[in-house]
């Protein structure tokens, strides 16, 4: 999310800087210094986040510092009389896009504390005589936060409806393309492999024919849960269509990918979803860290899957992207 917000963030800081330059003859040039500190905080966070296990903490710290710098500008330009007091509501518009509910609440509390300290703390008499000087920025802060949070929740809900398979709760085929492109590019830049596997339930059509589609749906839900709980937390699983699942394994070479596929195959074979004996065949492919595309990986894994089916099912087979692999029809 932060990567997508950087252009807007840069534009906002540029606009604030331009405004301070225009107002310089009246208020002085020194408010540019706190703005510079705020910019520096985000630049540091951008450098630290890729190496951090909790990147959201880095961006929260940068956001909190930026609010503090605005508060300092308010204090030194008149406190409750400052033109900059309402500016504290502007960064609040980004809270719901960056953080969960607790983060939003923490951000609002931090901003309210800065507003009160920069106004009441500097000149309580002015606020006592003109409480609107504080109430208006507080109302603006709460209103902006409520509206942006509602919009973000609505966006997330509709996005989830478009990318989540309603039966299994897994990501669907539509969301595979974007994530795979990001992971493949990351693998190319870092020169690390990435594996893709396709898993297909064996004889699933017979389940629907003999036991009905409701039982078939139960089987798919339980299989999805088995796959999800067997994989690592940073692996990605998608329902590709029907009884077929695609799994992306970042930073994974061929040996580890095959071992993972065998572990998934064994988990499915020993699970009895919906009380039925089920098996699953897997085709595995691995990127070459260079010009491999998602289509290359899918074709190689799909051909390997056909090999697994042709060899008797309940198998794991490996295909290699960009190599000609004979296609066998079971």
Q: What is the pLDDT of residues 194-238, one digit of tens each?
A: 999 999 999 999 999 999 999 999 999 999 999 999 998 889 999
170 close to 245: Cβ distance less than 8 angstroms: yes
Comparing 124 with 290, which gets the higher pLDDT?
Answer: 124
DSSP state of 319: -
Query: For residue 109, what are the CA distances in angstroms to 106, 138, 181, 206, 316?
Result: 5, 11, 38, 58, 54
Encoded tokens for 284: 């595995």
Asked if pLDDT for residue 85 goes beyond 70, the answer is yes
pLDDT grade, residue 291 (50/70/90)?
low
329 close to 302: Cβ distance less than 8 angstroms: no
Assess whether 243 carries a catalytic annotation.
yes
Proportion of the chain above pLDDT 90, given as a percent: 56
Asked if pLDDT for residue 162 goes beyond 90, the answer is no
Mean pLDDT over 156-166 rounds to 70
Return contacts of 272-278, CB within 8 angstroms, 24+ apart.
273/218, 273/219, 273/222, 273/223, 273/226, 274/211, 274/215, 274/218, 274/219, 274/222, 276/207, 276/211, 276/215, 276/219, 278/201, 278/202, 278/204, 278/207, 278/219, 278/223
Asked if pLDDT for residue 298 goes beyond 80, the answer is yes
* Annotated domain spans of the chain: 2-163, 171-318
pLDDT in the model for residue 196? 95
pLDDT grade, residue 326 (50/70/90)?
very low
Proportion of the chain above pLDDT 70, given as a percent: 92
pLDDT in the model for residue 31? 85
Q: Say which residue the tokens 């008499």 belong to.
A: 125
Mean pLDDT over 253-258 rounds to 93
Query: For residue 36, what are the CA distances in angstroms to 70, 82, 149?
Result: 11, 19, 28
Taking all residues of the chain, what is their mean pLDDT, rounded to a whole number? 88
Tell me the CATH architecture of domain 171-318.
Answer: 2-Layer Sandwich (3.30)
Residues with Cβ < 8 Å from 306, sequence gap 6 or more?
A: 283, 327, 328, 329, 330
The continuous run of DSSP H or E covering 240 comes out as strand 236-241
Give dist(CA 322, CA 297) in Å, integer.
8
Asked if pLDDT for residue 330 goes beyond 70, the answer is no
pLDDT grade, residue 325 (50/70/90)?
very low
Enter the pTM of the model.
0.56
User: Which candidate in 56, 185, 243, 291 is catalytic?
Assistant: 243
Comparing 86 with 163, which gets the higher pLDDT?
Answer: 86
- In DSSP terms, which residues pair with 194 in a beta bridge? 250
pLDDT in the model for residue 324? 44
């Amino acid at each position: 999310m932060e990567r997508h917000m950087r252009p807007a963030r840069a534009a906002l800081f540029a606009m604030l800087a331009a405004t301070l330059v225009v107002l310089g003859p009246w208020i002085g040039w020194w408010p540019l210094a706190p703005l510079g500190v705020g910019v520096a905080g985000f630049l540091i966070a951008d450098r630290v986040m890729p190496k951090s296990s909790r990147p959201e903490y880095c961006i929260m710290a940068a956001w909190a510092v930026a609010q503090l710098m605005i508060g300092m500008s308010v204090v030194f330009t008149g406190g409750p009389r400052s033109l900059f007091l309402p500016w504290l509501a502007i960064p609040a518009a980004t809270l719901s896009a960056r953080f969960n509910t607790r983060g939003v609440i923490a951000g609002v509390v931090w901003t309210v504390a800065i507003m009160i300290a920069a106004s009441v703390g500097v000149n309580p008499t002015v606020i006592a005589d003109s409480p609107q000087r504080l109430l208006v920025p507080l109302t603006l802060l709460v209103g902006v936060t409520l509206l942006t949070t509602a919009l973000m929740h609505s966006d997330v809900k509709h996005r989830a409806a478009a990318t989540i398979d309603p039966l299994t709760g897994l990501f669907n085929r539509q969301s595979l393309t974007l994530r795979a492109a990001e992971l493949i590019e990351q693998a190319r830049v870092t020169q690390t492999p990435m594996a893709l596997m396709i898993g297909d339930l064996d004889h699933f059509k017979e389940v629907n024919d003999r036991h009905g589609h409701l039982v078939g749906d139960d089987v798919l839900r339980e299989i999805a849960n088995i796959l999800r709980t067997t994989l690592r937390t940073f692996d990605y699983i998608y329902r590709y269509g029907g009884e077929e699942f695609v799994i992306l394994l970042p930073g994974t070479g061929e040996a580890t990918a095959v071992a993972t596929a065998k572990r998934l195959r064994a988990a499915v074979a020993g699970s009895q979803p919906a009380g039925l004996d089920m098996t699953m065949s897997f085709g595995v492919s691995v990127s070459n860290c260079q010009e491999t595309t998602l289509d290359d990986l899918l074709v190689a894994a799909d051909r390997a899957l056909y090999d697994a089916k042709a060899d008797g099912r309940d198998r794991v087979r490996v295909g290699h992207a960009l190599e000609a692999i004979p296609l066998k029809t079971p």
